[in-house]
Amino acid sequence: MRAVLTEATLRSATIAAWMAEVGAAMRAQRNQLTQLDAAIGDGDHGTNMVRGFDAVEKALAGRGEAAPGQVLITCGKTLVSTVGGASGPLWGSALRRAGRSLGDADEIDGAQLAGALAAALAAVQELGAAEVGDKTIVDALAPAVAALRTALDEGGPLAHALSAAAAAAEEGARATIPLQARKGRASYLGERSVGHRDPGATSTALIVSALARAVARDE
C-alpha cells in the first residue's frame, strides 16, 4: 500500500516502507557491517541486523492499517526478540519509545517524527549510558536528530530535512574512526579500537538514510 503523504504528513504505510528500506540496506551492507564488527566486536552485527529487520518485515506483512506509533512498537518488540548482541535491545527500545511518543495518531507530521527520533535517541542513551564521542550508535543518531530539527525549524520540507539528517548520521559514523571506544565490547580493546569505524553507528546511518528514501519516495 502506498502511503498517503500530504504537506509532510505521513501514515503507517510510510513506516512500513521505511522498515522495508532498512531491510534492503542491511542485506546489501551485511558483509561490510560484519567486517567492521569483526575488527572491534563479535563479527555478527551484519547478520544480526539482517535477521532482525527480516523479522520486522514479516511481522508487518499482511498487518492491517494501524497507527504509525503502533507499527513502530511492533517493530521494536520484534527486534528485541530476534536480534542478538546489543543492537536488539538498543534499537528495540528505541523504536518502542519512538512509537509510544506518537500515541494513537493516524497521521504524523515532521515535528512529531523529529520528536519520535529524539525519543528513540533518549532510549538508546538511557539503556547504553552513551554520549557522543563514545563510539556507538549515539554518534550517528544524535547528529541526525539535531540536523532534522534544525532543518524543520528553518521551514524546509520534510524530505529535505531527512536528507540533512541522513548526511549528518553518515558524517557522525565516519567520525567514529579516530575515536577510542568507551562503551560496549569495543571498549575492551582500549586504544586498539582507534582507527576503526563503529559498526553500530554505521548501521544507524543506514537506518536514517532508509527513512529519508521512504519519505522522499512517497512525496
Sorted by where each starts, the structural domains of the chain and their CATH numbers stand as 12-218 (1.25.40.340)
What are the pLDDT digits (tens) for 76-96?
A: 999 999 987 788 899 999 999
Whether 40 shows a pLDDT value over 50: the answer reads yes
What is the reported pTM? 0.93
Average pLDDT, the chain: 91
In three-state form (DSSP H/G/I as H, E/B as E, the rest C), the secondary structure along 120-183 is HHHHHHHHHCCCCCCCCCHHHHHHHHHHHHHHHHCCCCHHHHHHHHHHHHHHHHHCCCCCCCCC
**Which residues are CB-contacts of 22 (< 8 A; sequence separation ≥ 6)?**
53, 56, 206, 207, 210
User: Helix or strand or coil: residue 69?
Assistant: helix
